Amino acid sequence: MAGFLSIACALLFVLYAILFYLNHQSGILALSYYVESEVASSAPDITAIWISASLGTLLCIIPAMILLHWLHFPLRFKALAFLPSYIVLGMITGISPESVTSVENDIPLLPSVLLLLLSAILIFLTQVYHEDRGEHAPLQNYLGANVLISCVGMMLCIALTNTDRQLHVQLKMADAIHRNSCLVMEKHPRGETASNNTITSMQVLHLSRQGVLADKLFSLPNLRGSESMLPDTLPASMLYNIPALVYRHLHAVPAGKCRNALCFLGEAQKRRAVRLDNPSATRADSLRALPLTDYYLCALLLDRKLKCFSEELPRHYVLDDALPSHYREALVLYYSSDSTAQRYFHDSVMDSLLLSYQDLLQRESAVWSHQRKASFKAYPHSYWNYYFFGNKNRRE
């Protein structure tokens, strides 16, 4: 009877813990996930994920195995040995990758310590006041109490775990990026996830990896200037966190003091240009520079630095019909807004489209909301829409 109840409680915990790891993908699973993905440059397969969940479960069940081996538990309270394991599981999944190396931690430490202390007191009491073992008593006399204790442990685990919506959305998007899945573009930040730039920066990363950043950037929602292109924070460790995905792609990491994203990208671009001017630079070096170049040029567009953009573009691109669409839109807009600008790019089709766009704005000029709605409907995903209406309609 005692052995059966111990095994039943252990199996219930193992099943719950594995499913909990697979659902949350945080804590130990998240750490191994990003170590694996960064080293291999691809998402781990389902086998690696199951192995990570199994190892995390083993780590959590060790305290229960020690308690069952060292202490004598009454038959009604066999599951009490697993209560610390449920609490440890909740604490581990309460660790987000961004907070592992940070002084700020998402784990509610005080409640965790109090719960562990309470479970220790309960275990002590079962050792002092314990019932006689009724090995031949009906199973239902003891099964219900153990199931109840296990359910309490599950609720404590849920209360302690990390339920940060942003973290889980970011994990799913990172997986989609590694798999080159279009699901990255289908996840639109809402609510709390729209309050930071990390999710938008991951969508920018996906477009860059696909080689279409300069053609599809302005199809993204929640663009708020050049800051939208980079994650909000740069944690101390660069092994597995989400900012590492972006900075490894750019082959550049923020160093020293940069005022903003445009400053960082501009300085990184200058350093890259110096290296490319070196006679020992190879074609591979030039290819690695392309993502950073597009990031910098698009950052200028996001901050509406059209004059600087028009001066920087010829250094990196041949100005012909193969020029990405957003760059062509920006150039013709710059020429139309600055009569003193020296024109070195001609695109009659784009000029005609801009005239039609400006006529549309003029017709709907009476009501700003109607003007915005009409322009987005007639010219979806255009840089012109962002320039006139995006980022709270600020021209910086």
Region 326-346: what's the mean pLDDT?
Answer: 90
Please write the tens of the pLDDT for every residue from 97-113.
Answer: 444 433 333 445 566 56
What is the number of structural domains in the chain?
2
Most confident of 100-109, 151-160, 346-355: 346-355
Region 159-178: what's the mean pLDDT?
Answer: 67
Residue 3 has pLDDT above 60, yes or no: yes
Last residue of a domain, one of 255, 270, 303: 303
- 110: tokens are 């005080």
pLDDT attached to residue 335:
92
Residue-averaged pLDDT of the chain: 76
Looking at the structure, do residues 155 and 9 belong to the same domain, yes or no? yes
The sign one gets for the Cα dihedral 141, 143, 146, 147 is negative
Looking at the structure, do residues 12 and 124 belong to the same domain, yes or no? yes
Compute the C-alpha angle 217/218/224, nearest 5°: 100
More confident position, 311 or 124: 311
- What pTM was estimated for this model as a whole? 0.65
Flag whether 60 is in a domain.
yes
Residue 163: φ, ψ to 5° = -110, 25
Segment among 114-123, 132-141, 284-293, 317-326 with least mean pLDDT: 132-141
Helix (H, G, I), strand (E, B) or coil at 328: helix
Residue 354 pLDDT grade (very low, low, confident, very high; cuts 50, 70, 90): very high
Inter-residue contact 36 to 44 (CB < 8 Å): yes
Q: What is the helix (H) or strand (E) element at residue 367, kind and residue range?
A: none
Region 141-149: what's the mean pLDDT?
Answer: 78
How far apart, in Å, do the first and last CA atoms of the chain sit? 74
Flag whether 377 is in a domain.
no
211: left (phi over 0), alpha (psi -120 to 50) or beta: left
More confident position, 296 or 96: 296
pLDDT attached to residue 396:
40
Flag whether 352 is in a domain.
no
Flag whether 368 is in a domain.
no
State which residues form the domain around 84. 2-129+142-166
More confident position, 289 or 150: 150
Looking at the structure, do residues 222 and 291 belong to the same domain, yes or no? yes
Flag whether 325 is in a domain.
no
Looking at the structure, do residues 31 and 155 belong to the same domain, yes or no? yes
